Amino acid sequence: MQTRPLIYIHGFRSSPLSGKSRALKEIFPHITLATYDTLHPDIGFRQLDALIDAASKQKPSLIGSSLGGFWAYQFGKRYALPCVLLNPCMQPETTLKPDIGLVTNMYTDEQGILTEEDLLKYDNYRFEGETECVVLHEKGDELIPWQESVANFAEKAKLVLLEGGSHAFEHLDAAISEIRQLQSAV
């Protein structure tokens, strides 16, 4: 059976070194783990756009977690690619406000400055279009309330609300099942 390529887009202050990234790489050895600037939307957009545009003829499935969920959904609409979103951050200009100032990546210890000006740029990257989308949101997410996914995706996506969990996303088995379904839909 032929399968779609996969691209995973990590969240804010994360990296391809995260536990979720490593677990996805172990289960899907062919997955591409995106590396991008999470502090500066203009730079992050260009990096992700180059990666996804280069793979778009192969119709990859996009997987995004937290801020990566915002990007996966927007690129899914831009390129008509299916996506799976894990505890997605769909209003980064609001959700990331408490992080304005010095930010340290949890996995690389790299530091940078997040500004309010950076946050206001996310609105430039909301694209029109449709995409086949599955959203998994854990009710125990302490950073992004699951009700935001209901408000953002009711009638637009398959929405799976999971009991418990945390922002780190603990129901990876449920996500893997959804990813496999999208991946095999060639």
Specify the CATH number for the domain of residue 22.
Answer: 3.40.50.1820
Q: How many other C-beta atoms lie within 10 A of the C-beta of residue 70?
A: 24
Residue pLDDT, tens place only, 98-151? 999 999 999 999 999 999 999 999 999 999 998 999 999 999 999 999 999 999
- Domain membership of residue 126 (yes or no) is yes
Residue 36: pLDDT above 60?
yes
The predicted pLDDT at position 68 comes to 98
Q: What is the mean pLDDT of the chain?
A: 94
Quote the number of domains for the chain: 1
Run of H or E residues at 21: helix 19-27
The yes-or-no verdict on residue 1 having pLDDT over 60 is no
Decide if 1 is inside a domain.
no
By percentage, how much of the chain surpasses pLDDT 90?
92
Decide if pLDDT at 184 tops 80.
no
At residue 164 the predicted structure's pLDDT band, cuts being 50, 70 and 90, is: very high
Query: What pLDDT shows up at residue 171?
Result: 95
Question: Does the structure show a pLDDT above 90 at 64?
Answer: yes
Say yes or no to pLDDT of 185 above 90.
no
CA 148 to centroid of chain Cα atoms: 15
- Whether 88 is in a domain gets the answer yes
Q: Answer whether residue 85 is part of any domain.
A: yes
Residue 162 lies in a domain: yes
Look at the alpha carbons of 154, 160, 164, 170 in this order and tell me if their dihedral is positive or negative.
negative
When computed from its CA atoms, the radius of gyration of the chain, rounded to whole angstroms, is: 15
**Does any domain span residue 69?**
yes
Question: Is residue 15 included in any domain, yes or no?
Answer: yes
pLDDT on residue 2:
59
pLDDT score of 162: 96
| Residue 62: pLDDT over 90 | yes
* pLDDT class of 183 with cuts at 50, 70, 90: confident
- Please check whether residue 165 lies inside any domain of the structure: yes
The yes-or-no verdict on residue 186 having pLDDT over 80 is no
Do 154 and 160 meet the contact criterion of CB atoms below 8 Å apart? no
pLDDT of residue 121: 97
Owning domain of residue 112: 6-184
Is-contact 83 62, C-beta < 8 A? yes
